[in-house]
Structure 1
Amino acid sequence: MPEGPEIRRAADRIEKQIGGRVLEHAWFAFEELQTQANSLIDIRVDAVETRGKAMLIRFDNQRVLYSHNQLYGVWKLHAAHKPPQTNRSLRVRLVTEGRAASLYSASDIALLDTDALEDHPFLARLGPDLLSQNVSTASVLARLDDSRFHRRSLGALLLDQGLVAGLGNYLRSEILFYAGLHPKKRPVDLTATEREQLAQIIIDTTWQAYRQAGVTNRDAWIEQAKTAGETRRQWRFSVFERAGLSCHRCGEIIERQMVGSRRLYWCPHCQPVA
């Protein structure tokens, strides 16, 4: 499943396609939305934002189109007169000035009033979105110290969208590696300095993945990995997808384990248990 940086980049593309323009046509596959389609005609698309792995398309009549791609959903951008060739099921189509944004295969879609967003069952459970909201290191640190989170293992906690929204499997492994923390560690086990460093690394790694299209590795390590013949799937990361390969930092062999029923990669030397 795409993580927060990939959804944010998709939101950017949609905003470039239809943002700031007035809708000429709106179509929904689901019956409960079909009756609301006309309420969007002649309405301007104000902004496209993300909340973790969900997308919010805001309109200037204070309405918001919420969607979550889950495993199979995908937005496709195209000329209005030339829909893409695909076997996927069309769920939403928004058209403005000859441009179209079409959502395929997703099932979690709603048209909401702005003031009802916080009551949406998925959005209400989310922590702050690092890429669409102004989230400070102090804010993330406060969440790590929150009683809901501070006694949970980091290997599980970093997948909890209630901590911060948008982290997923590859970001979890990369963040823990850069923080030098074993996945069994808990926020309560860390020193004040370690917790502050972790909060900053959570922000920095997520922003790097967004700005560099999913690349979280360091430039020098990327060149080293390319020279060694690693594929992009391997060299784009510091530890994720690199089980059996040497750690860029210390040379130890990267290991893989299952945490929370999902793959986690770590360096035994750089991320000791004790």
Structure 2
Amino acid sequence: MPEGHSVHRIARQFALHFVGHEVAVSSPQGRFAEGAKRLDGRRMTDSRAIGKQLFLEFSDDRWLRVHLGIYGAWDFAGELTADASIGAPRVTRLRMSEQEKPEPDAGQFPPPPVGAVRVRLLTERTVADLRGPTACEVLTPDEVQAVIDRLGPDPLVDDPEAGEARFVAAVRTKSTPIGVLLMDQSVVSGIGNVYRAELLFRARLDPHTPGRNVPEEVLRELWRDWTVLLREGVRLGQMMTMDGLDEEAYRAALADRADRHWVYHRAGLPCRVCGTPIVMELAAGRKLYYCPTDQR
């Protein structure tokens, strides 16, 4: 599932290529036909990510909310940059989900919809096709605010001190294990399976510790570390959670996901610090990876 850094990068693509332009909106698959009619021909005026939620604002106070979930992805085509930053290489097709993948030029613009495209957003120069989202709906400003009010703080959106205070206060009132709380989007926005496992290991924190038993300073450090990792993820387009790497190891980590993480997806492999086999167990229906020696 795409985590917070991915959605912020998707929002940047929309800000760069769609905001300020009139957008033709359609639903090639047909499941979003009524919603598409409400947005078609309007100007996109804002693109905003909060945690795993994407909000696209259109004229006349209409918003498109998208949550990609496990299977969702955006396919962009046309005049693009590879990472939505100044000076980035140009590409003509780009798939954005948990990972980002430049794809072969379709040879025409706009390319024909491929597969079950829930919604297509089209300007004169760029098209974005959405497939497989968990949520895709048109909302009013009040409805958007109601969704946002249910979300925990996001380090790239909230005031840093206020966001930290909200996170600490939310965790310290709960007996739920911290390994579950970090995945609760009402507690903190954007953390998924990968970042959850890596944050806990970096803090050497037992994932089974009840939230209210985690020392306040440890929670504050978790929030600050999440801020660092999220910013780095947005910059790189990858969840790089290992630090202290030399130049060669850093290049290897960028090239191979298996070299980017301390514990995630390493069940049975030796801990990179102590050598103890990494444990995998289910926590609230999701795979949780941790070191039983360093995180006790």
> TM-score, normalized by length of structure 1?
0.83
Deviation at 1:174, TM superposition (A): 0.6
Letter in 2 for 1:255: V
Report if the CA contact (8 A) 1:129-1:164 is conserved: yes
Counterpart of 2:64 in 1: which secondary structure? Answer: strand
Question: In 2 relative to 1, CA 148–248 (structure 1 residues): closer, same or farther, beyond 3 Å?
Answer: closer
Corresponding residue SS for 1:220? coil
Distance 1:264 1:75 in 2: 27
Cα 1:77–1:112 change in 2 (3 A) is: same
Contact conserved, 2:269 with 2:278, CA < 8 A, in 1?
A: yes
Deviations 1:97-148 (A, max 9, x none): 232122123362222222331234xx443212333x1341552343332378
Q: Show CA shifts across 1:16-55 (max 9, x none).
A: 23223233x22133243244144xx2x4322221122221
Contact 2:178–2:210, Cα closer than 8 Å, also in 1: yes
- In the TM superposition, 1:99-114 aligns within 5 A as 99-106=126-133, 108-114=135-141
CA shift at 1:167, angstroms? 0.9
CA distance in structure 1 between the partners assigned to 2:39 and 2:226 by the alignment: 39
Contact 2:178 2:211 in 1 (8 A): yes
Classify 1:157/1:61 alpha carbon distance in 2 versus 1 (closer, same or farther; 3 Å). same
Alpha-carbon distance in structure 1 between the residues aligned to 2:250 and 2:36: 51
Could you say what secondary structure the match of 1:76 adopts? strand
The CA distance in 1 between the partners of 2:168 and 2:262, in whole Å, is 24
Q: Where in structure 2 are there 5+ consecutive unaligned residues?
A: 79-107
C-alpha root-mean-square deviation of aligned residues, in Å? Answer: 2.9
Find 2:268's aligned residue among 233, 240, 244: 244
Q: 1:32 aligns to what?
A: 34
Find the counterpart in structure 1 of residue 223 from structure 2: 199
Gaps of 5+ in 1: none
How many correspondences in the alignment? Answer: 263
> Which residue is equivalent to 1:8?
8
Which residue number corresponds to residue 146 of structure 2?
Answer: 119
The answer on whether the counterparts of 2:168 and 2:220 sit within 8 Å (CA) in structure 1 is no
Q: TM-score, normalised by structure 2?
A: 0.77
1:233 correspondence with 2:257: yes
Distance 1:135 1:178, change over 3 A: farther
CA gap of 1:34–1:234, structure 2 versus 1, over 3 A, is closer
